[in-house]
Chains A and B, each alone.
Chain A
């Protein structure tokens, strides 16, 4: 039982517990905070695996960006203080069963499969290697997906503006009536 294994289990525990509380909590703001902790736990696991780049990207984008976005939207829709309705018993049971079934399925697969580590030299995931690979156009390069993702981001940006703008014009119309 080395120290790293203990650290791993602690981080995993943090992540899972936060996640469970995030989806079952009845106050939405607390739910957002639990999500925050869950994401931080995952970033910790990345750090523990020594994939620094990914960990940092996770913190910047997820924790700093998305969670803040969620919290902003909660405030904008003025739901912070109210209680979410308690779900019907049928739904709860069904959800629990669904979780259990999926968990069982995945675990079964995991234990049945024999994971054969590949041979070959280990590539360190440092930034220079990642950057080289991302913009490479040879075999194993990711230049094309990179461009596509940038287009996707552009589309998302424009889409958000359009959705938000339409609601504004809709609002002015209803004001006029």
Chain B
């Protein structure tokens, strides 16, 4: 159905786009001081509209026959290829979309406000806000897309914005390398995504989400039959389609082994990390799985595979995070770990054919709460970095006296991520663990272990920053940071406390019907106890300065060293890139280009020049030679016309 009066939904992404255009074109000249205010104001309007849109969807028109369905808000035909194949542009409303609209605009607004103070000494202030506007526009467009090709366009745009923002400090070579790496890895993954789009839309006959889901998700439809019978290397075509799409998702959401760009992406400004690499862009992949969930669930092997990849990435990242010393890197691996949770939740959902279960809801709920507390963690880390002028843990310590607001909010966020009731993370992790327990015991135990490690490393970070020892302080003390920096921290902390109580199952679930998310107290005792144990271990290691941690690390030395070096994945990738790609493929391509292609062009040029040297002699300036040519020509023409012309 098409909602007639819903053009305000189009304004939601267009306002940040306007911010991008205005600030991008005129910002540095005219608005260099007021750029932040302008962008924030536009985004506030956008946020209000997004909240209204979500409210209106969930409570007014979204519910049809007791289930939330996808509602097409508007569409118009953009490219018409043939009679029944056309690419339309349009927007679609759906529980996941409504939720993401709220998340993206709200977190973006927090980041905008925070950056007013964090980056106020920055010369390229207007450019920064322009890029933020571009990113917000792309992300909102992505979640509103009604067909998969439009989503792909916005997917790439999000990648571009991320590239621009990671490389914002372009005079730092590490930042430049990081943004290149991010873009190249995600672009490489997007190749798989594109092929997956082509496969799926070929079998479904259309690029529209609603049509794809209709055609490919009902087991009786003939398209599914065609897709299932065509097979290649043992996997059906449908499985290949979703597997290729998953490659794109793994790249964007930093799943193993395409996660290498995420830690390096911390070279960007901290509010950027909060927005992009914690709350929004990296969850675009999770969002896409949710969008295409019914198609994914037609291919059980792939769905299982997604579950295992998610669980493995979560554990892998948690282990590495225990050893890192850069505060932002710890948070980056923590993000990877939590996204792994979301992925595994979606992966195990519907594993036994029952779609009306907790996995999907749990995954999406975790996305929502994670955005809140991860953004809070990053912004808090930004506040600490702003105060200490360093990212390393060893420069920090004992800051609870100097940064009180940051301290309390950071503590709330750590409790939330560790899964302690009554904070938000408890409820969402609960849902995931319960779903995992019912479906797949291996994944359950690994998720349980990961949540224990999560509590441990987060509190390791917390105690190292705010307790432990006395910090190195610079001579000028600027205090904790302005009101603009503290307000988002407080708001997000409030969100982290309260969002756990939203009855998420009422709103978001796999098939639109309500899923009950009541708590089973007996079940949740085990994870909470494990988390508390992690906290106490961290407290004993790090609350006061001692060397228990070093002794433990020394005893597991080999494992510790490889975890510290991120299991050498970066080195492997670099080796592959340099030796194989540059050495073999790059060199031979360069040889070909220089000798064959250039050679052809040069030969043509040289040949023409040599030929013209010979022909020059015809123009000798001697009249009698010209007369001879004349005669020869006449004879020739006479012969032709008399004898050869038919």
Q: CB atoms of A and B under 8 A apart anywhere in the complex?
A: yes
Residues of A within 8 A of B (CB): 94, 98, 101-102, 105, 109
Residues of chain B within 8 A (CB-CB) of A94 are 628
Residues of chain B within 8 A (CB-CB) of A109 are 642
Query: Does A98 contact B639, Cβ atoms closer than 8 Å?
Result: no
Interface string of B613-643 (1 = CB under 8 A from A): 0000000000000001001100100110010
Q: Report the number of A-B residue pairs with Cβ-Cβ less than 8 Å.
A: 13
Residues of chain B within 8 A (CB-CB) of A98 are 628, 631-632, 635
Shortest Cβ gap from B643 to chain A (Å):
9
Bound together, the chains give a CA A94 to CA B629 distance in angstroms of 12
Bound together, the chains give a CA A102 to CA B631 distance in angstroms of 9
Shortest Cβ gap from A135 to chain B (Å):
35
Shortest Cβ gap from A91 to chain B (Å):
9
Query: Does A105 contact B635, Cβ atoms closer than 8 Å?
Result: yes
Residues of chain A within 8 A (CB-CB) of B631 are 98, 102
Bound together, the chains give a CA A105 to CA B635 distance in angstroms of 8
Bound together, the chains give a CA A1 to CA B82 distance in angstroms of 90
Shortest Cβ gap from B127 to chain A (Å):
69
Query: Does A101 contact B635, Cβ atoms closer than 8 Å?
Result: yes
Bound together, the chains give a CA A98 to CA B630 distance in angstroms of 11
Shortest Cβ gap from B628 to chain A (Å):
7
Residues of chain A within 8 A (CB-CB) of B635 are 98, 101-102, 105
Shortest Cβ gap from B618 to chain A (Å):
16
Other CB < 8 Å A-B pairs besides A105-B635, A105-B642, A109-B642, 10 of them? A94-B628, A98-B628, A98-B631, A98-B632, A98-B635, A101-B635, A102-B631, A102-B635, A105-B638, A105-B639
Residues of chain B within 8 A (CB-CB) of A101 are 635
Residues of chain A within 8 A (CB-CB) of B642 are 105, 109
Interface string of B102-122 (1 = CB under 8 A from A): 000000000000000000000
Residue contacts A-B, CB under 8 angstroms, 6 given: A94-B628, A98-B632, A102-B635, A105-B635, A105-B639, A105-B642
Q: Which residue of A lies closest to B625 (CB)?
A: A91
Bound together, the chains give a CA A94 to CA B631 distance in angstroms of 12
Bound together, the chains give a CA A109 to CA B635 distance in angstroms of 13
Bound together, the chains give a CA A57 to CA B270 distance in angstroms of 107
Bound together, the chains give a CA A94 to CA B635 distance in angstroms of 14
Residues of chain A within 8 A (CB-CB) of B632 are 98
Shortest Cβ gap from A73 to chain B (Å):
16
Residues of chain A within 8 A (CB-CB) of B638 are 105
Q: Which residue of B lies closest to A87 (CB)?
A: B624
Bound together, the chains give a CA A105 to CA B628 distance in angstroms of 17
Q: Which residue of A lies closest to B634 (CB)?
A: A102
Q: Which residue of B lies closest to A109 (CB)?
A: B642
Residues of chain B within 8 A (CB-CB) of A102 are 631, 635
Shortest Cβ gap from B475 to chain A (Å):
87
Q: Which residue of A lies closest to B638 (CB)?
A: A105
Bound together, the chains give a CA A122 to CA B623 distance in angstroms of 45
Bound together, the chains give a CA A28 to CA B628 distance in angstroms of 21
Shortest Cβ gap from A146 to chain B (Å):
29
Bound together, the chains give a CA A105 to CA B631 distance in angstroms of 13
Shortest Cβ gap from A10 to chain B (Å):
30
Shortest Cβ gap from A53 to chain B (Å):
31
Q: Which residue of A lies closest to B639 (CB)?
A: A105
Bound together, the chains give a CA A51 to CA B147 distance in angstroms of 95
Shortest Cβ gap from B25 to chain A (Å):
64
Q: Which residue of A lies closest to B624 (CB)?
A: A91
Shortest Cβ gap from B617 to chain A (Å):
15
Q: Which residue of B lies closest to A105 (CB)?
A: B638
Q: Which residue of A lies closest to B642 (CB)?
A: A109
Bound together, the chains give a CA A101 to CA B635 distance in angstroms of 8
Residues of chain A within 8 A (CB-CB) of B639 are 105
Bound together, the chains give a CA A77 to CA B635 distance in angstroms of 35
Shortest Cβ gap from A104 to chain B (Å):
10
Bound together, the chains give a CA A98 to CA B638 distance in angstroms of 13
Bound together, the chains give a CA A94 to CA B639 distance in angstroms of 19
Bound together, the chains give a CA A98 to CA B634 distance in angstroms of 11
Shortest Cβ gap from A142 to chain B (Å):
27
Interface string of B239-281 (1 = CB under 8 A from A): 0000000000000000000000000000000000000000000
Residues of chain A within 8 A (CB-CB) of B628 are 94, 98
Bound together, the chains give a CA A105 to CA B632 distance in angstroms of 13
Bound together, the chains give a CA A102 to CA B628 distance in angstroms of 13
